[in-house]
Amino acid sequence: MNNLMKMDDREIRQGKISGDPEKVDDFKKKISDEKYLDHAISKLATDLSHYLTK
């Protein structure tokens, strides 16, 4: 994990997505829906908040 933080190009590196193409396409469809994206962001924020307060 520490190595990821030291990589200069970690946020702009383009690469191939590995995994099941059907699952990748399904995920792309889900995140294109604003309601799903809002729900996912809220869930992540809640989980992160709980983690940080422990």
Q: What is the pLDDT of residues 10-47, one digit of tens each?
A: 565 666 667 788 988 898 898 899 999 999 999 999 99
User: The whole model's pTM is what?
Assistant: 0.52
pLDDT at res. 8: 60
pLDDT at res. 27: 86
- What is d(CA 45, CA 54) in angstroms, rounded to the nearest whole number? 14
CB-based contacts of 17, cutoff 8 Å, min separation 6: 24
Residue 9 pLDDT class (50, 70, 90 cuts): low
- pLDDT value at 7 more than 60: no
